Each structure stands twice: as C-alpha cells, then as structure tokens.
Amino acid sequence: MKCIIHRRSQFSASHRYWLPELSDSENVSRFGKCAQAPGHGHNYILHVSIESDIGAHGMVLNLSEAKEIIHREVIEPLDFSYLNDTWPEFALTLPTTEHIAQVIWHRLRPHLCPPLRIVNIQLFETSNLWADYQGNDMQAYLTSAAHFSAAHRLALSHLSDEENHNIYGKCARVNGHGHNYRVEVTVKGEVDPRTGMLVDLVALQNAIECHVIEPFDHTFLNKDVPYFSDTVPTAENIVIHICERLKAPIDDIGATLHKVKLIESPNNSAEVFAAEIDRTSQPSL
C-alpha cells in the first residue's frame, strides 16, 4: 500500500529580481520593488511530499533520514543566503518562488531514489503566495491568495421562509450574515528560463483584484452582484462563479487557471478545478 508523507522545513533567504541585459528603468518596470538593490528577504516554508510503500516498520521512510537529506541538500545551503549567488541555477534563471521549487525538486531527486518518489514540492514565499512543482519539465503552479468581506443570504425565492430555513438553517435568516472570505487562485504554466516566472505576478494579482475583490468586497452578494440575484450564493456557487470570471483574464496574461479555493470560515471551504468547469459547460452531443 502506498502512502505519501509530507515533511515541513523552513529557511530565511534574500533575493533580487534583476536582469543585467535590461536597463535600470526596464528592470524596475518589469519587476517593481523586487528590482531594488540590494534585494529583499522572506521566511520560506517548504513542504516536501514523498510517496512509497509502507515498510515493515510502518513507515514510508525514516523521518530522521528524510529530515537529514532535506536539511543537507536544501536548508543548509539556502538558509540565511542571498539566493542569486547561492546555486548556479539562479545565475541563469531568477530565483522566483516557482523556480526555487523547481530547483529544490531536482536537487533532492537523486537522494530520494526509488522506491521513494517525490510527488510535490510546495514552497511558500508568504502566507498569500506559494508555488508547487511536480516534476513536469518546466510546468509549475503558482497560487495567489486575497481576501474580501461580504454578506449573503441562502434562500430560494420561490420557497417560503420556513422552507428555506429547513434547507439552509440559520443561513436563511432574512437579513443575511457575513464572512471574511479568503480566495486562493492557482494558475499553471511554463517557467520562463530567464525570468523564472510562469506569469507576471502583478498582472495576476491585478486580475484577481479587478474581477473578484473589487466587485465582491463589502457587498451584499444577493443584491449587489447580478449573478446572485437568481443563484443562491453558497460557497460552492461563489467559487464556481469566481472561476468563471477569472478564466479569460488569466488566459489573457499568458497563464492557465488551474483551480480556485474559497474559504468561507475556518470550518468551511469549497474548491473547483477550471478544467471541470470547462467540461460541465460544454454542450452535450
């Protein structure tokens, strides 16, 4: 029986987005504050996911062994480093979150040999920005999170208050209630071999701000967002609508929308994959 274990580590490092073939103004235009000298830093959180059969001792591998490999090959060289100068991979390609995750995968792979198999490297630059890499050549995933506050009421217009209460409980109360929503948008694409980016991060964040946060923040969804005038704004319906709103804008900036997760509260969240939305919207033959 196969099982996946996840090992968490952390390191602190600085980096700078700067291409010598560009002028000062071109670098600032392209990378914004990330181009400022001498650079900036992050407290990175790393999750290494390893799959294998469960052995006779009830483990995929000895966790002490996994910890030692990750510490020796990744944490020790990267912790308190200036990433641009640390590994030769970062001289050719900028140390963006997605590229760092990609390099860590390839650095660890020779030391975690079959029957062990790395299935994912997840690297958090901040709590609102992280990348996943799964060994698919240059393809990686980048997730950007944002927040909005909104109120809603769960009720079907053709039902009585009592009938709605039987379906939705307290969420059907006539004056509604509110949440501080967190939306996590994951895109996928090819990591550029020079910039290390799969998408312009500012453009991605602007798309989320323009098409989700601005129209949804501080609204009563049922009345202020036309889509929900005849669609009950459950977490499931909201996340589907967000996915539909973001697909074209993210295509326009050169990435592919992979999935959207909406966290309504610490106890309730919903997630949809863009490919599934596409399939369900296709006309039946």
Q: Residues 263, 227: one domain?
A: yes
Cis omega (within 30 of 0) for bond into 95: no
Q: Residues 233, 94: one domain?
A: no
Q: Residues 188, 282: one domain?
A: yes
The CA-atom distances, in angstroms, between 190 and each of 9, 30, 187 are 26, 18, 10
Q: Residues 178, 273: one domain?
A: yes
Our count of domains for the chain comes to 2
Q: Residues 58, 152: one domain?
A: no
Residues designated catalytic: 171, 218, 264
Distance of CA 46 to the CA centre of its chain: 14
Q: How many residues does the chain have?
A: 285
The parent domain of residue 226 ranges over 136-285
| Final residue belonging to a domain, choices 135, 163, 198 | 135
Q: Could you state, in chain order, the average pLDDT of each consecutive group of 10 residues for the chain (285 residues)? A: 89 97 95 95 96 74 80 98 97 97 97 84 98 96 98 96 96 96 98 97 97 98 96 97 97 97 97 86 49
SS (H, E, C) 255-278: CEEEEEEEEEECCEEEEEEHHHHH
**Cα 266 to Cα 58: distance, rounded to the nearest angstrom:** 32
| Final residue belonging to a domain, choices 105, 135, 165 | 135
Q: Which pair of tokens denotes residue 81?
A: 């480093």
Q: Residues 161, 269: one domain?
A: yes
Q: Residues 15, 119: one domain?
A: yes
83-118 pLDDT, tens per residue?
999 999 999 999 999 999 999 999 999 998 777 789
199-219 pLDDT, tens per residue?
999 999 999 999 999 999 999
Is residue 180 within 8 A of residue 212, CB to CB? The reply is: no
Give the CATH number for residue 173: 3.30.479.10
**Cα 124 to Cα 130: distance, rounded to the nearest angstrom:** 4
| Final residue belonging to a domain, choices 69, 101, 135 | 135
Q: Which pair of tokens denotes residue 193?
A: 């071999």
pTM recorded for the entire structure:
0.93
